[in-house]
Amino acid sequence: MTKPSCPKCDTTEATKSGVVGGRQRYKCKNCGYHFSVAKVGREINSYYVIKALQLYVEGVSYREIERLLGVSHVSVMNWVKKYGVKAPRQTDYHPTYKILNQKELAEFFQDPQQLKGAGLVVTELGDKYMMIRWERFKGV
């Protein structure tokens, strides 16, 4: 096990100094500072963070991202805040999405009529593909 380093002076010269909140507390021998080792939480794969932020920028809602990726919508909100991502303001268009396998995606692109009248983005989603289209709101 590696010795904890002091957050103030960055030395590894520390002694155990009790337990607070279920975590070991240390006292730095160099500067006398008391500290606890940071809690280690469950780490999320960066693929999901990047994919969630991409979907958010494309206009997909937090709850839809939760359903698509299986990641809490609260986590997605926290990532948006943490990385300062801004969603584009959408007035006339709204995103719709479909999950397709490779064959279905190829068939979709075979028909030129499918490609007219809307913006389109295709992104990998595990072993499938997500197609996001921006269609005009009805009545605009």
Domain count, the chain: 3
Per-residue pLDDT at 140 exceeds 50: no
Residue 47 and residue 21 in one domain = no
Structural domain that includes position 2: 1-41
**Neighbour-count burial for 77-112, b at 16+ CB within 10 Å, e otherwise:** eebbeeeeeeeeeeeebebebeebeeeebeebeeee
Model confidence pTM above 0.85? no
**Angle subtended by helix axes 73-83 and 46-57, to nearest 10:** 80
The more confidently predicted of residues 39 and 32 is 32
Residue 34 and residue 60 in one domain = no
Per-residue pLDDT at 78 exceeds 90: yes
Residue 1 and residue 36 in one domain = yes
CB atoms within 10 A of CB 49: 17
Residue 102 and residue 73 in one domain = no
Confidence of residue 67 (pLDDT cuts 50, 70, 90): confident
Residue 83 and residue 53 in one domain = yes
Residue 132 and residue 100 in one domain = yes
Residue 68 and residue 82 in one domain = yes
Mean pLDDT of 4-30: 88
Residue 52 and residue 85 in one domain = yes
CB atoms within 10 A of CB 44: 14
Residue 3 and residue 33 in one domain = yes
- Helix, coil or strand: residue 104: helix
